[in-house]
Amino acid sequence: MSNINAIIPAWQSFQAATQIEPIRDQVHYQYMVEMLESLLVQTGDDENHPLMGLVDIVGDLIADYEAAQNTLPEACGIDALKFLMEQQGVKQADLKEIGSQGVVSEILNGKRSLNVRQIKLLAERFSVSPATFI
C-alpha cells in the first residue's frame, strides 16, 4: 500500500468513535459484546449489509479475548483418568483390565505410573486417544 499515511486520520477518527481494538480487559470486553449485539440488531439477517465486515471484526476480537481468557489448565494423564471415571460412573473395581483395585488405587494416587499396556486399554475403554493418559 503506497499511501498508508492517507489512512491515518480516518483510522484515528474511527478508533476514537468505536473503541475497536484488541480487547485487553473485562470492561472493554463488555463494551465490545454490547457493540456486537447492536450491530447484529442493525444488520439482521442481511449478509450483504454494509456493516457485516464490522460484525466479523468485532466478533473476531471477542473470540480472541475469550480464547485467551479461557485457556484450559494443563492436566496429567491421571487427572484425565479421574475425570473420565467420574463422567462415566466408573469405579476403581471396574478397571480390572489395568490391574487389581490396589493397583488402580496406587495409579490414581500417583504412587504408580500407567504403563503402555494400561494406557492402550484405557484409551479403548474410554474411546479417547492414548495421548490422553500420557
Residue where one domain finishes, among candidates 53, 69, 85: 69
Q: Are residues 8 and 61 in the same domain?
A: yes
Residue where one domain finishes, among candidates 69, 92, 123: 69
Which amino acid does the sequence have at 67?
A
Q: Are residues 93 and 126 in the same domain?
A: yes
Coil vs helix vs strand at 50: coil
**Which CATH number does the domain housing residue 93 bear?**
1.10.260.40
Q: Are 64 and 76 in contact (CB under 8 A)?
A: no
| Average pLDDT rounded to a whole number, residues 14-18 | 93
- Quote the mean pLDDT of the chain: 90
The confidence score (pLDDT) of residue 26 equals 93
pLDDT of 32 over the 80 cut: yes
Measuring CA to CA, which residue among 19, 26, 28, 51 is closest to residue 38?
51
Give how many domains the chain has, as a whole number. Answer: 2
What is the C-alpha to C-alpha distance for residues 78 and 132, in angstroms, rounded to an integer? Answer: 9
Residue where one domain finishes, among candidates 21, 37, 69: 69
pLDDT in tens, 90-107: 999 999 988 999 999 999
pLDDT in tens, 49-62: 999 999 999 999 99
